[in-house]
């Protein structure tokens, strides 16, 4: 039993390869990595060679797929998806129906949520937020206290 602090109290769980906690209702592929101090809560999915480490948390119906990484104190939850080679790091949060993919990075205290899409080589960092139907793609950089809501931002070289 382990309490994932998601409001459900202690639930049946096990340690993935003797390391991080994984709820029995979650799925973590044999090829995926969950560090001892990280955890994958109820209903979450981690596939492929994805890595969840540091104090990172993946829960809800969230998915981390491919070679994606979630680390530091980052959280991925709700129906969010992080896939391909994307990274969520620091204290960043990706939630709602947000998707982070390609080589994109969400880091620092940044948030991607709602129906936001962050992809390509885009970076959302510092205290920035991408939300609603925002699209941050290409080589775009969104940082500082910037807020991107319902618009497309594309950065080229």
- How do residues 82-120 score in pLDDT, each as one tens digit? 999 999 999 999 999 999 999 999 999 999 999 999 999
Whether the pLDDT of residue 18 is over 70: the answer is: no
| pLDDT attached to residue 157 | 64
| pTM of structure | 0.94
- How do residues 34-58 score in pLDDT, each as one tens digit? 999 999 999 999 999 999 999 999 9
| Pairing, β 69-70 against β 51-52 | parallel
Backbone angles phi, psi at 150, to 5 degrees: 65, 20
Based on its alpha-carbon atoms, the radius of gyration of the chain, rounded to whole angstroms, reads: 15
């Amino acid at each position: 039993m382990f309490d994932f602090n998601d409001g459900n109290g202690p639930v049946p769980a096990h340690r993935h390869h003797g390391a991080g906690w994984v709820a029995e209702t979650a799925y973590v592929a044999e090829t995926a990595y969950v560090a001892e101090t990280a955890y994958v809560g109820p209903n979450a999915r981690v596939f492929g060679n994805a890595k969840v480490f540091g104090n990172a948390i993946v829960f809800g119906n969230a998915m981390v797929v491919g070679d994606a990484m979630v680390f530091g104190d980052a959280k991925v939850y709700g129906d969010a998806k992080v896939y391909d080679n994307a990274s969520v790091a620091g204290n960043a949060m990706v939630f709602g129906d947000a998707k982070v993919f390609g080589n994109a990075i969400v880091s620092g205290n940044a948030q991607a949520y709602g129906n936001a899409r962050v992809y390509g080589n885009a970076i959302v960092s510092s205290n920035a937020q991408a939300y609603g139907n925002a699209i941050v793609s290409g080589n775009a950089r969104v940082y500082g206290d910037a807020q991107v809501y319902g618009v497309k931002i594309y950065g080229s070289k």
